[in-house]
Amino acid sequence: MKIALGADHGGYQLKEEIKQALEGMDGIEIEDFGCDCDQSVDYPDYALPVAEKVASGECDRGILICGTGIGMSIAANKVKGIRCALVHDCFTAKATREHNDSNILAMGARVIGPGLAQEIVKIWLGAEFEGGRHERRIEKIRQIEQKY
């Protein structure tokens, strides 16, 4: 599985910790889109390339981190085909994959710590979309994207 990874300055340190954890997982390839510092940068500049790589299929999933995760998730969700979920607990990490078929995970480095973030990533990567009644809802999201 190929993962696109991105963060702004507020998420840089956590991104590096997540990246290190991902490098220790079998079958995971990472493409890091930055940032590479804790100097102030603009989160859309990092959300967009991650979302584009996931939307195009060049990467299977993406992980975005900023201070709260809010800005990253808003920016990523502007890209057609992206279902970016802002997650700060294990239950929603699992539910967003199973029910919403999320393809990008957003987290807030100022909201959760690295241990919980790593557990969320493991759960999110391991969960699969259930389909069934949820597919009907995902199709409605696709129709909204087509309309706008």
Question: Please, what's the b/e burial string for 54-65 (b: 16 or more CB within 10 A of its CB; e: otherwise)?
Answer: bbeeebebbbbb
Query: Among residues 107, 103, 102, which one has the least CA distance to residue 119?
Result: 107
Backbone angles phi, psi at 107, to 5 degrees: -140, 160
Helix (H, G, I), strand (E, B) or coil at 81: coil
Judge whether 104 and 61 are in contact, CB under 8 Å.
yes
Catalytic pick from 9, 59, 84, 99?
99
Catalytic pick from 35, 59, 66, 84?
66
Annotation says 66 is catalytic: yes
Annotation says 35 is catalytic: no
Judge whether 47 and 10 are in contact, CB under 8 Å.
no
Peptide bond into 35 cis (omega under 30): yes
* Residues with catalytic function: 66, 99
